[in-house]
Structure 1
Amino acid sequence: MLKKYDQNARRILKFPAVHPCQDVNPATLLRSLITLSNSITNYQSKYFATQRKNARESIRQITILNILFVAIMENDDVSGLPDTALLCFSELHHTLQKILFLIEDCTRDGARVWLLMKSHFVATQFMTLIRSVATALDILPLNLIKVSLEIKELVELVAKQAGKAKIEVDHDDDHAMKRVLLILNQFENRFEPDSIMIKRVLYYLRINSWSDCHNEIRFLDDEICSESLDNNERDLCLLSTLAGFMRYCRGVLFENCVIEHSDNPITERPNLEILSCLNPEDFRCPISLELMTDPVTVSTGQTYDRVSIQKWLKSGNLICPKTGEKLATTELVPNINLRKVIHQYCIDHGITMSKFQKQSRDISSTILPGSPASAAAIKFLSDYLVRRLRNGTEKQKSRAAYEIRLLAKSNIYNRFCLIGAGAIPPLLSLLSSSDSTIQENAIAGLLKLSKHSNGKKMIINYNGLNSIVNVVKNGLKQEAKQIAAATVFYLSSVQTNQKLIGEIPDAIPALIELIKTGTSCGKKNSLAALFGILVYPRNHETAISSGIIPLLSNLISTSERPEIVTDSLGVLATLAESFDGSNNIFNNSCLPLVIKTLQTSPSRAAKEYSVSILLALCNNLGNEVVAALANNANLIGFLYTLSTSGGTQAGKKARTLIRIMHRYHETSSSGLRANWDSSRTATVHSC
């Protein structure tokens, strides 16, 4: 009877109540009303940061109605209730659901500052619902219901009070709300507010710790995502402003509080499968640095994701973000060919496009600040954190690095502000700290900032590569090593950086060592970083001499984690593109392993990497490899299957291999083995 809703699924200040069906059993209806009213009265002991008077009045009235419902249920026969009573109870059931939702929201963890700013709306909801109770009670025939006179008098009093109730914004709430508006106005005018004024507001809302503030930010961020989908610009602006304000409070006012690492930032694992076929930059939007799900081209010929460039243009920017040229027109031309390539690639590799559309939408919404006040708050905070990094105590430096880690986690504008404030040089200096926590927070902050194009440039300009590689090699904790490996991956997405990383003697050997000794996450990050570095062919020699091929072979044959097998194959496929790589792969007896993987792996990406390796070996080494493939009776069948049911790239490579093998059989049977090499070369070039 009483429908249950997931508190985390229901949007705040949304009340999905339902009317009971017309033929509901009276006893069932009353039991459900008792359950509802009990749930509401249980909130008597809860803390209400705002709407205290309105909530207390609502709970008081429902408590009296609960007495009525229980008294009626205690009668032996509830089936004899008149129809008007059942209609009243049905309407009350609908209203009580909404009251319960509203009271839940008023006590929701993390929503205090938002509910304060929505005080007028919430007070209106209380008034509407209390009046609905009065309207329902107007049709209740108390004279026909068998309950005591005292209960009837109480219900009549509730009906009278509900009809005349004066529900309004509490004076203290109104005063606190005006203070917040004043603070936000000061931020908007680029004036840093007085900390005492801010503390008074936070004290009123009982936001007394770093964790309290962090909970507010998490709630506001979730609401921003939801409002972005609904295109509610008014609420979105206020939410963004409050999120910036609360981030400022968390970083500046609560730096001495104990941090509860309840959601410690997860070490990021770069998605190798997304970036492995083309140049790592090919599928990324230059603005958001994420996968382009709807690529469009502007008048300068540059391509961006539609959501990102629309946000850029909407803010009044009329220049090309990448080239700086003035746009002749704001028309966006769909890049259909690139969209097809990206879409097909996702299909080929079993990647859900909607997942990346949501991620792209989420990150793209942070290119610009949600409001001028939010922009100023983040800039003030960034300057403060950088000052702490440079001049603070060891504890303050660690806390500042952790705040930067959180601040830059999934917000492009925040990264831009932190980089502009000069966060990268002091973070690089902290990498040599003897404190493992400081080192981990510093490298994690650099990881987030390395996702921004300006961050990559600044890390290189301040000679940060050596420091980051040193953490990969000598990091005090495994977490720091694997985060450093992920940072190397993001830096390697710039072509010129691939050469610079390869020139550091310890870079490739350190990543290979982390694959041997690191955690599963460390292995993944190192494989991704090596893939990025090995896109530059001259780095192959160092990797090969460091023993990467036997290591990859061992991972492919023994790892129980499919993603590590796939990533290892991806790196092996990159090495196979060079002659030395192919020669070492063949000499290390990897050919049977690659063929077996092609035949047995359920992963489409693993199959494509396998066929890429086989084709590269044929192209680079010739007869010996082709003969081994041609003499494998089962292989041709798998290649035929892959040529028809595999993705575009996998199918094309499989068909090329089939032609090479057919040509080999033809020349072998006709005794023209001497002409084999030229025939094979012609076949490859024709593809």
Structure 2
Amino acid sequence: MGQEGTVVVGVREQEGEEEVQTWNQRKQAQILQLSEKLNHGDLESQIEAARDIRKLVRKSSSSSSSSSSSSSSMKTRSRLAAAGVIQPLVFMLVSPSLDAREASLLALLNIAVRNERNKVKIATAGAIPPLVELLKFRNSSIRELATAAILTLSAAAPNKPTIVASGAAPLLVQILCSGSVQGKVDAVTALHNLSTCTEEDYSAILDPRAVPPLINLLKECKKYSKFAEKTTALLEILSKSEEGRIAISNSDGGILTLVETVEDGSLVSTEHAVGALLSLCQSCRDKYRELILNEGAIPGLLRLTVEGTAEAQGRAHTLLDLLRDSPQEKRLASSVLERMVYDIAARVDGADKAAETCKRLLQDMVQRSMEHSLSCIQHRAASCTSSDIPSA
């Protein structure tokens, strides 16, 4: 490129930088104007400003090229927070005007998305108590916007204990039971976020009423999806209580849906699903073993011992041991079991290696059975006292 061409490029770059700088100055002036309206304007001005904030963030996300739009929208959110718009928007959540509440909800949602610092700022400004009150609204639009807001704020770890303490979880379970499809999806994700707050007792977050809608949602979604992973995680938590186990077994297709997830789920969802089944069987083998076997759990569990995560493999082995003690499993002909294991091995490793994999799996099952029997004998022997042994 000649000297003239270099000069032209340099001039264009300078013009481009000046154009961006001018645009940023205009945007900053607009942000300050919106903040002024929110902090000092009348209600109509505040509603208008809240709506304009939403438009501004959305425009920042879509107007730039794909490579820079994310950065632009992040800067816009940060500048809005720095300009002091969060607190007046939170105050609007308790306004008698439904329009004000809706406008502030949408503005806060747009400010919080993909910005952890803003999520914490919104919670610190006192947004959670009024959002929880909005979860009780009969107005479905407001209620579902509040659910989306709780979901967004619950993604930030510092907010989780505050949200749980506010009493939001039982209301999210209500939405899970009776809300729209989108409301249920948001409620599941919010409850999943809160369930990772290890400082809290799970009983404060989930109750057995959540089981039937969770089972129904798991039936309808793709078993390998991220949503299935969240749903099965919640079901595994619920399976740790007697009430939750009863709800799972009483739900229409509850155990079958978990078995299907073991067969078709992702690594994460299969781990949670087999964990839930294992909780059932360990709590009362006589009650749950036949129910699990009747839904055809054996093939999926055998596959999981080969393909699952280390945790899932261990759970599958343990559950297979529990199921193998049942009369139905004893009646299972060895040739049928071998054929079943071979088919699974062929799908996993291909036909050329299926025989070798099948042999290894069957040997492992025999070995584990022998170890289990030996452990039982040793346990009985250790429990015997000298008075139990007949004298010579």
TM tier, shorter chain? 0.5 to 0.7
Counterpart mapping for 1:181-200 below 5 A: 194=36
Aligned twin of 1:388: 92
Aligned twin of 2:366: 661
> Given the superposition, is the C-alpha separation of residues 485 and 575 from structure 1 closer, same or farther in structure 2, using an over 3 Å criterion?
same
Determine the C-alpha separation between the residues in 1 that align with 2:70 and 2:118. 16
Determine the C-alpha separation between the residues in 2 that align with 1:439 and 1:550. 28
Q: 1:550: how far off?
A: 6.5
Contact preservation (8 Å) 2:176, 2:187: yes
Contact preservation (8 Å) 1:472, 1:510: yes
Of 354, 364, 376, the match for 1:677 = 376
Q: 1:192: how far off?
A: 8.8
Q: 1:446: how far off?
A: 0.4
Q: 1:433: how far off?
A: 2.0
Aligned twin of 2:209: 506
Aligned twin of 1:616: 319
1:588 aligned onto 2:291: yes
Counterpart mapping for 1:638-649 below 5 A: none
Of 104, 116, 119, the match for 1:412 = 116
SS in 2 for 1:391: coil
Question: In proportion to residue count, which structure has more helix?
Answer: 2
> Given the superposition, is the C-alpha separation of residues 441 and 180 from structure 1 closer, same or farther in structure 2, using an over 3 Å criterion?
closer
Gaps of 5+ in 2: 39-51, 351-358, 382-392
Determine the C-alpha separation between the residues in 2 that align with 1:396 and 1:385. 9
Of 129, 149, 158, the match for 1:425 = 129
Aligned twin of 2:68: 223
Cα shift readout 1:586-629 (whole Å, capped 9, x = no counterpart): 2114377333235678x944997477334234158747587578
Determine the C-alpha separation between the residues in 1 that align with 2:205 and 2:57. 40
Aligned twin of 1:554: 256
Contact preservation (8 Å) 2:147, 2:186: yes
Aligned twin of 1:479: 182
Q: 1:427: how far off?
A: 1.1
Contact preservation (8 Å) 1:553, 1:590: no
SS in 2 for 1:422: coil
Of 244, 248, 266, the match for 2:78 = 244
Aligned twin of 1:543: 245
> Given the superposition, is the C-alpha separation of residues 539 and 588 from structure 1 closer, same or farther in structure 2, using an over 3 Å criterion?
same
Contact preservation (8 Å) 2:136, 2:143: yes
1:376 aligned onto 2:82: yes
Q: 1:549: how far off?
A: 7.7
> Given the superposition, is the C-alpha separation of residues 514 and 585 from structure 1 closer, same or farther in structure 2, using an over 3 Å criterion?
same
TM-score, normalised via structure 2 length: 0.67
Cα shift readout 1:87-128 (whole Å, capped 9, x = no counterpart): x9xx99xx69x99xx9xxxxxxxxxxxxxxxxxx8755459x
Gaps of 5+ in 1: 1-18, 20-87, 103-120, 128-167, 197-207, 227-237, 249-374, 646-653, 668-672, 683-687
Aligned twin of 1:309: none
Aligned twin of 1:633: 338
Determine the C-alpha separation between the residues in 1 that align with 2:99 and 2:316. 50
Contact preservation (8 Å) 2:135, 2:143: yes
Q: 1:216: how far off?
A: 1.6
Residue identity over aligned pairs, in percent, reads: 18
> Given the superposition, is the C-alpha separation of residues 459 and 661 from structure 1 closer, same or farther in structure 2, using an over 3 Å criterion?
same
Determine the C-alpha separation between the residues in 2 that align with 1:623 and 1:677. 16
Contact preservation (8 Å) 2:202, 2:237: yes
Counterpart of 1:244 in structure 2: which amino acid?
S
Contact preservation (8 Å) 1:489, 1:532: yes
User: Which entry has the higher C-alpha Rg, 1 or 2?
Assistant: 1
Of 120, 131, 146, the match for 1:442 = 146
Cα shift readout 1:543-564 (whole Å, capped 9, x = no counterpart): 33443687244336778x9448
Of 192, 198, 210, the match for 1:489 = 192
Determine the C-alpha separation between the residues in 1 that align with 2:244 and 2:27. 59
Q: CA RMSD in A?
A: 5.3
SS in 1 for 2:133: helix
Determine the C-alpha separation between the residues in 1 that align with 2:24 and 2:233. 53
1:573 aligned onto 2:275: yes
> Given the superposition, is the C-alpha separation of residues 591 and 506 from structure 1 closer, same or farther in structure 2, using an over 3 Å criterion?
closer
Determine the C-alpha separation between the residues in 1 that align with 2:242 and 2:363. 28
> Given the superposition, is the C-alpha separation of residues 575 and 480 from structure 1 closer, same or farther in structure 2, using an over 3 Å criterion?
same
Cα shift readout 1:373-404 (whole Å, capped 9, x = no counterpart): xx523xx2221221111115212212222233
Contact preservation (8 Å) 1:409, 1:448: yes
Determine the C-alpha separation between the residues in 2 that align with 1:530 and 1:455. 24
Counterpart of 1:531 in structure 2: which amino acid?
A
